[in-house]
Amino acid sequence: MIALLQRVTQASVKVADETVGAIDAGLMALICAERGDGEKEADALLSKLLAYRVFADDAGRMNRSVADVRGGLLLVPQFTLAADTQSGTRPSFTPAAPPDQARCLFDYFVTAARGRHPQVETGRFGADMQVALINDGPVTFWLQIKPAA
């Protein structure tokens, strides 16, 4: 599974001009399930995401996690993170999990996140979303958990 994390001062997701998820300071994470991913990879990615130290401590070093700072967490499904861009000028999405499997894993990820973090908002799986954010820093990280071979 893949998460593209962005430290934000605020972020929101709209679907058809309706805000479906919004946070103030915290992390906005684009989430993608790849073929072969399961709950084990989702759990590992969530653990890493919640513990990843991207917020400043008193010395100005990135030593605090979203859990430490009690920040918001906005989870947005985005299958395009799995794109194969190695050849040509049109991406292939064969590395992405099939839509039904991806939806189940995203829902599992959100449920698990809500069980472990107090403020979790989401985008809407399969919808045409407009995502707005103010990237703080900018700070952006790519996290990826690969299935065991």
- Annotated catalytic residue 79: yes
- Would you call 140 a catalytic residue per the annotation? no
Number of other CB atoms surrounding residue 127 within 10 Å? 13
The DSSP secondary structure of 74-133, one letter per residue, reads EEEE-GGGG-B-SSSSS-B-TTBPPHHHHHHHHHHHHHHHHHH-S-EEE--TTS-EEEEE
State the catalytic residue, choosing from 6, 55, 79, 109.
79
Q: Copy the structure tokens of residue 119.
A: 């403020």
- CA 129, CA 147: separation in Å to the nearest integer? 28
Question: Is 93 known to be catalytic?
Answer: no
Residue 122 identity:
T
Q: Which of 19, 80, 85, 111 is catalytic?
A: 80
Q: Which residues are catalytic?
A: 78-80
